[in-house]
Every structure is written in structure tokens, then in C-alpha cells.
A = this chain, B = another copy of it.
Amino acid sequence: MSAAAAAAPAVAVDVAVFTVRDGALHVLLVRLRRGALAGRWALPGGRVRADESLDEAAARELAEATGLRDVYLEQLYSFGSPHRDPYGRVVSVAYVALIAHGGRFAADEEGVTADGRYAGVAWRSVGALPPLAYDHDSVVATALARLRAKLSYTNLVYTLLPAAFTLSELQTMYEAVLGRALDRRNFRKKILGLGLLRPLHRVRRGRHRPAALYAFRHRRPMIVEIL
């Protein structure tokens, strides 16, 4: 259980969970409660157990930190610089997770998490992140690049949206992740032309003209040229 700088590498997983909240892309951070880096912000993660796959470890770590289950998870990259973890030699397999905002975890939580490892959990806008522990700054940067690229040629936006949504909400997701504005007419033309959406023939009302609601025909990852 003690530091082992020259020992064979241990294996961990770290998860960068993204969501779009108020039109801005956010990552889920945890505040470390123990060890040399106590008090620092980091991505949730931990050691891989002997009897679980990497994917299973990522899903477990995410569930332990947040209670979230059945989340879209995708392996990102493995980080293995010899000195990335002050505790000892740890190779970390990073994952990206995407969730729709508004279910559980709508708000930040200040208390100590159930497993006692974290002193708090918070969504932070990717435009204003604190310095992160380990090499998690690099992990987030790599995850962002992957996310931007992948949203352009897959239907993965569905992971960021509830079952019913308006075309404007869909457009907001793309704009938040890609970081640029899109023309509304061209966007609607393109998206509707792809046939990925099913009109629900219901509307969302607000203090303005009601907006038509849509759902995805298929809520599973597919390769589709979107933008």
C-alpha cells in the first residue's frame, strides 16, 4: 500500500464526463479528499480491479462518484508518463462520458461522496477550469478534441439531450460543443434531411412561439456525416 516509484505500473481509469448546461459545455470534477493531492480538483477515477475490464472499471468509477448508470462511455486515450502520479507509477486509461443535463446531478454537491474519496462534485464550464491534479488538464484537452471531432461525424448528440427536444435545443448542443454559431436555416435543413429525427407532433411552450418537439429515431451510436 506504500508508494512504489520503481515498481511495475498500476492501472487506473479516469472519466471525463461532459454535459451541456445553459448553452455551455461543462465537465464533472471531483475534489480529492485524501493523499498528497487532497483539496485539488480532478476527474473521477480509480484503480482497475483484477476481475473487471477497462470499460467496466470506468462505468463503476463513474457510478461510485455520481450514481450515474447506463451512461454513454467511450475509451479516449491512455496516459502513462512515469511521473504523472506522485503516489507511484500509474498508467491511466481515460474515458469520455456524455450525459444529458437535468436528470440527477443537475446541481453541484458539496458533501463528501458515499465512498468517502471525494470532498465534493461539481460541474465546471470547460472555458474556466481550475488547474487539475495529475495530468488531467491534458486528459480534458484530449477529450475535448475527440468530442468536437466525433460530434461532426456521428449522431452522439443524442447522449446530451433528453428524449424530447426542440431543434433549437439540438442546435445549442452543437454550438456549445463546437464553439461556433451555426446558421439556423441551414442547420434545420441539414438535420431534417438526414432523417435521424422523428417529429413528436407536440410542442414546447414558453414566453414566445411554441417550438415543435422531436425525438431521435435511434438512440444508439451511429456513424453519420452531420456537419
Contacts and interface: CB of A to CB of B under 8 A. Distances in A.
Given A11-B80, A91-B93, A6 B50 contact: yes
A77 B80 CA distance: 13
Contacts of A81: 53
A169 B182 CA distance: 41
Given A11-B11, A11-B91, A93-B91, A80 B53 contact: yes
A9 interface: yes
A66 interface: no
B11 A51 contact: no
Q: Is the interface of A mostly helix, strand, loop or mixed?
A: loop
Interface residues of A, number: 25
B89 A50 contact: yes
A183 interface: no
A78 B77 CA distance: 8
Contacts of A77: 75
Contacts of A54: 78-80, 91
Contacts of A53: 80-82
Contacts of A32: none
Interface string A1-36: 000011111110000000000000000000000000
Interface of A: 5-11, 47-48, 50-54, 57, 75, 77-82, 89, 91, 93
